[in-house]
Chains A and B, each alone.
Chain A
Amino acid sequence: MTPPLLTVSDLVVQYHRSGAPPVRAVAGVSLDVGPGEVVGLVGESGCGKSTLARAVCGLTAPAEGRIDFDGTPVRPLGVRRRDPALTRVQMVFQDPYGSLNPRRQIGAQIADGIRTAAERGEKADGATPQQYLTRVGLPESAAGRYPHEFSGGQRQRIAIARALAARPRLLVGDEPISALDASAQAQVATLMRSLAVESGAGLLFISHDLSVVRLIADRIAVMYLGRIVETGPTAEVWDAPRHPYTKALLAAVPRADGAGVLPTELPGDVPDPAAPPGGCRFHPRCPVAFDGCDREEPQLIAGGVACRLYAA
């Protein structure tokens, strides 16, 4: 088995607030992404998946645990220039309207990515910004235009082109499709997958939309309130979810033949991550919680699920 490209072990990320206990946005997560592997990270808003993505890129400093990329520990990005070895991790952000410099031509912004690869000392493959634009399905003439001339979906493809131009080995998508309309979502998601796999890069794709993640991910990790509750190959998780939370998430995915059928909703809201419930974090909302769930916190077992139903 090839060693994983990205190893996240027991990661804890906290946000400090003045006069209040810190929020544990990520509370002990371990996750691997292999070369050429597409991992989909899903969970509802506020479960810490974006924080995890930012930590992987060094944009947020972890409180505990470690993150290694290709044998190099990921150091938080301060005011200094990023370690060239880490520029092989690139990110596509959520907001297509905020992720491109409004004052610079598209071509110049993609050329920045090409320069990043060159500055790492890699032999230039002679690719031009125009070629990267073509690869994401935009005309070469786009290079001379400004971001405001493009739609959200197009901008997201430009952001992907810029990230790819840096020839990353790991691409992180932080909800890259959630701001797009439905027709652009699947298109951008599958484009990200095919371009990442084509270049041999791993892809960590974060989304709250299981139905899109299912289309592109090899493996799915489900996050709830700062922890991974279930992980496994996409087909297994989709066809035979085990954790009650995964089951609830899947039940909420609208189906073509489900006209008029409302999914059964989970009772209550996501608890405050600053004061997570004791025991299993999901037990207050769990439909099958039983005696002891409010005391013992289940760990992720070898089978890839963190639930006392499956404890040995």
Chain B
Amino acid sequence: MRFSVLKRLPSAWRRPLAVTGALVTVFWLVVVLAAPLLAPHDPLAQDLPRLASPGAGHWLGTDELGRDVLSRVLYGARISIPLALLLVALSLLVGGALGACAGFFGRWVDETVMRVADLVFAFPTVILAMVVAAALGANLQNAVLAVLVVSWPSYARVTRGLVMGIRNREFVLSGRLLGFSPWRSLRVDVLPNVLGPLLVLATLDIGTATLLLSGLSFLGLGAKPPAPEWGSMVAAGTQQFDKWWIGVYPGLAILTVVLAFNFLGDTLRDALDPTAARTIGAEKERVA
């Protein structure tokens, strides 16, 4: 896999959207790592003039408590992005494991997992996440759990399909004939060959996860004040419509993160060539 990715990266990554996505992603990752160095103020300190419009000393203005919006947006990246990554990793792990078992073992395992997944799919995502978050209590950890509950089924479905597609391939059967246990067969023969498309799905999902998490915070079901979380900052901004900078800048932060990860996911998909990745590279190798 490593080889085919390296060989195919350049052409796919030279497109404008790919470059934009990569640059914006890198920008936000730098912000996550270096927020204390970049932020001009303490994001929690309420020592600036209240509701000051953007200008010298506070480039993006200040909020209703006299906090620097720029510093809060920069620090907000440290909450939203790591949580979104964690959430996607957990969804991939939970949904991938359940979906792989469903696809590989079939029968009642498949029935059970997929019926539960259907149950989750039947609810509107945001509303179900709200219900779970409200039931668990409003804080960020519970918001992550709530989104996990609604996001694993799509991973389970995709993984199940991919696993069913290759579990009867000859190299998997060869392994079984050599006496592989089902777990070894899954780990050695099946999973490495379905990982490519799953990583694309995960990358595309980081944006959605950011959006859902911010959405829960916006509704008051996530981050608690005074934490500088983008969703809750947008919520505060809606209280002061004439002071547009309070809500617009954190909103822009969410927008750019979501777009950047979507561009990145698209690029990754093109780079991996999903049709070939789905048939596990065999067709491409045949031509090569």
Q: What's the dominant secondary structure at chain A's contact region? A: loop
User: Are B174 and A79 interface neighbours, CB within 8 A?
Assistant: no
Find chain B residues with CB under 8 A from A94 CB.
170
Number of A-B contacts (CB under 8 A): 82
User: Are B178 and A79 interface neighbours, CB within 8 A?
Assistant: no
Residues of chain A from 63 to 96 with CB closer than 8 A to chain B in the complex: 77, 79-82, 84, 87, 89-91, 93-95
* B242: Cβ under 8 A from any A Cβ: no
A2 to B: closest C-beta gap in Å: 25
Find chain B residues with CB under 8 A from A59 CB.
173, 177
Q: In the bound complex, what is the Cα–Cα distance between A99 and B19 (angstroms)? A: 38
* B188: Cβ under 8 A from any A Cβ: yes
Find chain B residues with CB under 8 A from A123 CB.
none
Say whether, besides A79-B104, A148-B285, A99 and B180 are in contact (CB < 8 Å): no
B4 to A: closest C-beta gap in Å: 9
A242 to B: closest C-beta gap in Å: 36
Q: In the bound complex, what is the Cα–Cα distance between A102 and B282 (angstroms)? A: 7
User: Are B193 and A103 interface neighbours, CB within 8 A?
Assistant: yes
* B115: Cβ under 8 A from any A Cβ: no
Q: In the bound complex, what is the Cα–Cα distance between A98 and B286 (angstroms)? A: 10
User: Are B281 and A148 interface neighbours, CB within 8 A?
Assistant: yes
Find chain B residues with CB under 8 A from A119 CB.
179
User: Are B174 and A81 interface neighbours, CB within 8 A?
Assistant: no
Q: In the bound complex, what is the Cα–Cα distance between A159 and B174 (angstroms)? A: 9
Find chain B residues with CB under 8 A from A79 CB.
104-106, 182
Q: In the bound complex, what is the Cα–Cα distance between A89 and B177 (angstroms)? A: 8
Q: Residue of B at shortest CB range from A81?
A: B181
Q: In the bound complex, what is the Cα–Cα distance between A98 and B174 (angstroms)? A: 10
Which of A82, A84, A103, A166 lies in contact with B176, CB distance below 8 A?
A82
* B225: Cβ under 8 A from any A Cβ: no
Q: Residue of A at shortest CB range from B196?
A: A103
* A116: Cβ under 8 A from any B Cβ: yes
Q: Number of A interface residues, CB 8 Å?
A: 35
Contact flags A156-179 to B (C-beta < 8 A → 1, else 0):
000100110010000000000000
B68 to A: closest C-beta gap in Å: 50
* A238: Cβ under 8 A from any B Cβ: no
B21 to A: closest C-beta gap in Å: 27
User: Are A116 and B179 interface neighbours, CB within 8 A?
Assistant: yes
* A97: Cβ under 8 A from any B Cβ: yes
User: Are A100 and B175 interface neighbours, CB within 8 A?
Assistant: no
Find chain B residues with CB under 8 A from A146 CB.
3
Find chain A residues with CB under 8 A from B285 CB.
97, 102, 147-148
Q: What's the dominant secondary structure at chain B's contact region? A: helix
User: Are A90 and B178 interface neighbours, CB within 8 A?
Assistant: yes
Contact flags B184-227 to A (C-beta < 8 A → 1, else 0):
00001100110000000000000000000000000000000000
User: Are B179 and A103 interface neighbours, CB within 8 A?
Assistant: no
User: Are B182 and A112 interface neighbours, CB within 8 A?
Assistant: no
* B123: Cβ under 8 A from any A Cβ: no
* B27: Cβ under 8 A from any A Cβ: no
Residues of chain B from 241 to 288 with CB closer than 8 A to chain A in the complex: 280-282, 285-286, 288
* A57: Cβ under 8 A from any B Cβ: yes
Find chain A residues with CB under 8 A from B281 CB.
102, 148
Say whether, besides A79-B106, A104-B188, A93 and B182 are in contact (CB < 8 Å): no
Which of A97, A102, A112 lies in contact with B180, CB distance below 8 A?
A112
* A101: Cβ under 8 A from any B Cβ: yes
Residues of chain A from 98 to 121 with CB closer than 8 A to chain B in the complex: 98-104, 112-113, 115-116, 119
Q: Residue of B at shortest CB range from A58?
A: B177
* B169: Cβ under 8 A from any A Cβ: yes
Which of A77, A81, A99, A113 lies in contact with B171, CB distance below 8 A?
A99
Which of B106, B177, B181, B182 lies in contact with A87, CB distance below 8 A?
B177
B98 to A: closest C-beta gap in Å: 16
User: Are A101 and B171 interface neighbours, CB within 8 A?
Assistant: yes
User: Are A93 and B106 interface neighbours, CB within 8 A?
Assistant: no
Q: Residue of A at shortest CB range from B285?
A: A148
Q: In the bound complex, what is the Cα–Cα distance between A250 and B188 (angstroms)? A: 44
* B1: Cβ under 8 A from any A Cβ: yes
Find chain B residues with CB under 8 A from A148 CB.
281, 285, 288
User: Are B170 and A95 interface neighbours, CB within 8 A?
Assistant: yes
Q: In the bound complex, what is the Cα–Cα distance between A99 and B178 (angstroms)? A: 13
Q: What are 26 A-B interface contacts by the 8 Å CB criterion?
A: A79-B182, A80-B182, A81-B181, A84-B179, A87-B177, A90-B178, A91-B173, A91-B174, A91-B177, A97-B282, A101-B175, A101-B189, A101-B192, A101-B193, A102-B171, A102-B193, A102-B281, A103-B1, A103-B193, A104-B192, A112-B178, A148-B285, A148-B288, A162-B174, A163-B174, A166-B179
Query: 6 closest A-B pairs (Cβ-Cβ)?
Result: A148-B285, A99-B170, A93-B170, A98-B170, A103-B192, A87-B179
Q: For the A-B complex with A98-B171, A119-B179 known, give 17 more contacts whose Cβ atoms are closer than 8 Å.
A: A59-B173, A79-B104, A79-B106, A80-B182, A82-B178, A97-B285, A97-B286, A99-B174, A101-B171, A101-B175, A101-B192, A103-B1, A103-B192, A103-B193, A104-B188, A112-B175, A112-B180
